Every structure is written in C-alpha cells, then in structure tokens.
Chains A and B, each alone.
Chain A
Amino acid sequence: MAKMSLEQLRKLREEKKQDLTRREVEGKEIQIIVGMGTCGIAAGAKETFDAVVKAVEEKGLGEQVIIRQTGCMGLCYVEPTVEVVKPGMPTVIYGKMTKDVAKDLVAKHLVEGKLLDDHIFDRPAADIMKK
C-alpha cells in the first residue's frame, strides 16, 4: 500500500458517503461503546476496538454504526467490555469481548438481531436472558 495523502483520504470518504445516503440510516443508528480504561487495555480492548471497526465495515454497516470509547465501566473482572445500543433491541453491556468474540458480536447482535447470551454481564435483566 502506498502512502495515502489527506486529499486521497478525503476523496475516499466522499465516495463512501455517496454509496449510502444518511437518509437511509436515520433512526437506525447503532452505537458500540468500547471500555478503554486501564483494565480494558490490559485485557486487549484496543484489539477489540480494531476488530469491531473491521467487522462492521466487512458487513457493510459502516455508515450505520457509531463506535465510541469510554473509560472503565466497572466490570474489570470481565474485560474487555462493550456496550451495544441498537434500536429495537435491549441495550446490553457485553463482557469477555475479546477480538474473536467481537466478530461474533457484529454478525449476531448487529446483523441477525440476536443476543450473545454467554457474554451479557449487565442489562437486560436476568429474566430476559435465555438461560
């Protein structure tokens, strides 16, 4: 890959925006928030963040998904932690979200609309989880 210039980056962004207009994703925006405190970083949250970015893009959801970082969510014992806010689904904080599981998160929660039961550590309440 040759070194990219800022101008090339700007152009690529414009091309992407034209692929999918904002109107199509309005109200369907999904938020993914990765816990990036010391505990998260020590457990591989940086790799998880990277894996989420790649997997979302591979599934063609790049314009629809916002990916943010936050500090420790208080669940240090199950880092890396990731919160997912998707319209029409309960807001969930997932734990033990290593880079490999992060790919499943995108495929199941975002694409199929199914929860990853074994990784839910906060919200929704226990009676919602299929166990």
Chain B
Amino acid sequence: MHYALCDYVLDIVQNAVEAGARNVGIEFAESGESTSVSVSDDGRGMTAEERERALDPFYSDGTKHRRRKVGLGLPFLAQAAAQAGGSWSVESRKGEGTTVAFRFPKGNVDCPPTGDVPGLFLAALSLPGGHEMAIRRVRAAAGGGSSAYELRRSELSEALGGLERASSLALLRDYLESQEED
C-alpha cells in the first residue's frame, strides 16, 4: 500500500504516461471534507475485459516485465478507497484513453494523509516523454470558497529549457511550492 494520496496519484499518472498518452490531464481538488482526483489520458485504453484484469493484483499484461505476475497500482487504490469509505472509478475505451477518478473523505480515520503536493507535481511533470500534461489544482481558500491554479508541462519545460537538469528541477520545485501560497 502507498503512504499518502499523492503516491496513489503519481502511480496512476505513471500508468497514463506509460500507456503512450499524448495528453494527460490531472485534477487535484481538496475541500475541507474530501480530496477528489481525476487522471485522464488519451493513451491506448483498455477493453472491458482488460479493465477488469487491471483491478486484479495478481495480473500484469507482461509488457513491462516479462515474467511478472503482479500489477498493484489500481488494486492498491481500490483497496485504500474502500477501506476509507471513499469511491473510485476507471473508465476506459480501447484506443481512446482512460480516466481514473477517486474521492477520499477526510473525516475517515483510514483516509491516507494528502502528502506533498508540490513534490507530486514535480515528479509527475518530469516523467520522461514528449507528452503534454495539464494540471488543475483546487484548494479550499483561507477565507472561505476555493482557489485554483493550473500548470502546463510544455510551458514549464520551455521556461526551464527542459525538465531533466537538476538545476531546472530545483527551480521547478520552488515554483510549484510558490503556487501553493494563497
């Protein structure tokens, strides 16, 4: 099992990138009561049968590791959501893409901590590949209501001259932390 909600999100985002997506969309919304996340991609998608199999922890399609018999990303998420009284969904169409969404109620004792959100975005944005990634982050504002900001991988990569050099990643980290300010 993962420790924090951010870890579940990164795992799902990695799946999206590995599915050959050209576009990945992440919405990460937190209110006082719950955390809701959706990750959508236009990667290779799954048939209904493949989708069912992806929820079986003792199944892997064998493309990443030939002799591996486990695939734990989605099963971890489903188990954690069920334990914490949350909800989750996986919608997928073969050749069109996949959307994974989940919601955790903060009041439940089994709800994992949110984790380090700027750290999640840093790791997600710097996953290798030529894809676009759009992130929308919504938070409860200090004075009531909500505030939001958006990030676009192509813009950040252009501003930083790529997202691989440690100095660029350190600057990106500062930038992402500053976006969490009210």
Instruction: Determine if chain A interacts with chain B.
Output: yes
Q: Give the residues in chain A near B119, CB-CB below 8 Å.
A: 46-47, 49-50
Determine whether the beta carbon of A13 is less than 8 Å from that of B171.
Answer: yes
Stretch at the interface among A66-74, A85-93, A123-131: A66-74
Determine whether the beta carbon of B14 is less than 8 Å from that of A65.
Answer: no
Determine whether the beta carbon of A13 is less than 8 Å from that of B64.
Answer: no
Residue of B nearest to A8 (CB): B175
Determine whether the beta carbon of A2 is less than 8 Å from that of B170.
Answer: no
A36 on the B face (CB < 8 A): yes
Query: How does the 8 Å CB contact mask read for B148-181 relative to A, with 1 for contact and 0 for none?
Result: 0000000110011100111111111111011101
Determine whether the beta carbon of A1 is less than 8 Å from that of B173.
Answer: no
Q: Please give the distance in Å from A5's CB to the nearest CB on chain B.
A: 9
Q: Tell which of A6, A52, A68 touches B128, judged by Cβ atoms closer than 8 Å.
A: A68
Query: How does the 8 Å CB contact mask read for A1-24 relative to B, with 1 for contact and 0 for none?
Result: 111101001101100110000000
User: What CA separation (Å) do A8 and B100 show in the bound complex?
Assistant: 34
Report the interface size class on chain B: 35 or more
The verdict on A3 contacting B178 (CB below 8 Å), with A36-B10, A36-B123 known, is: yes
Cross-chain pair count, CB within 8 angstroms: 121
Q: Please give the distance in Å from A31's CB to the nearest CB on chain B.
A: 9
Determine whether the beta carbon of B123 is less than 8 Å from that of A62.
Answer: no
- Output the residue of B11, B76, B173 with the most chain A CB within 10 A: B11
The verdict on A9 contacting B18 (CB below 8 Å), with A68-B128, A72-B64 known, is: no
Q: Tell which of B11, B116, B160, B177 touches A41, judged by Cβ atoms closer than 8 Å.
A: B11
Determine whether the beta carbon of B178 is less than 8 Å from that of A2.
Answer: yes
A101 on the B face (CB < 8 A): no
Q: Tell which of A6, A50, A61 touches B116, judged by Cβ atoms closer than 8 Å.
A: A50
Determine whether the beta carbon of A46 is less than 8 Å from that of B161.
Answer: no
Q: Give the residues in chain A near B22, CB-CB below 8 Å.
A: none
Determine whether the beta carbon of B173 is less than 8 Å from that of A53.
Answer: yes
Q: Give the residues in chain B near A53, CB-CB below 8 Å.
A: 122, 166, 169-170, 173
Residue of A nearest to B161 (CB): A13
Q: Please give the distance in Å from B33's CB to the nearest CB on chain A.
A: 26
Determine whether the beta carbon of A16 is less than 8 Å from that of B171.
Answer: yes
User: What CA separation (Å) do A52 and B172 show in the bound complex?
Assistant: 14
User: What CA separation (Å) do A74 and B156 show in the bound complex?
Assistant: 32
User: What CA separation (Å) do A20 and B18 show in the bound complex?
Assistant: 34
| Nearest 10 pairs of A and B residues by beta carbon | A62-B167, A57-B170, A56-B166, A65-B166, A4-B178, A10-B159, A62-B166, A53-B169, A1-B178, A38-B72
- List 26 A–B pairs whose Cβ atoms lie within 8 Å, in order of A's numbering: A1-B178, A3-B179, A6-B159, A9-B159, A9-B171, A12-B171, A13-B168, A38-B71, A38-B73, A38-B76, A44-B3, A46-B120, A47-B116, A49-B122, A50-B173, A57-B166, A61-B166, A62-B165, A62-B167, A62-B168, A66-B165, A67-B126, A67-B164, A69-B123, A71-B64, A72-B65
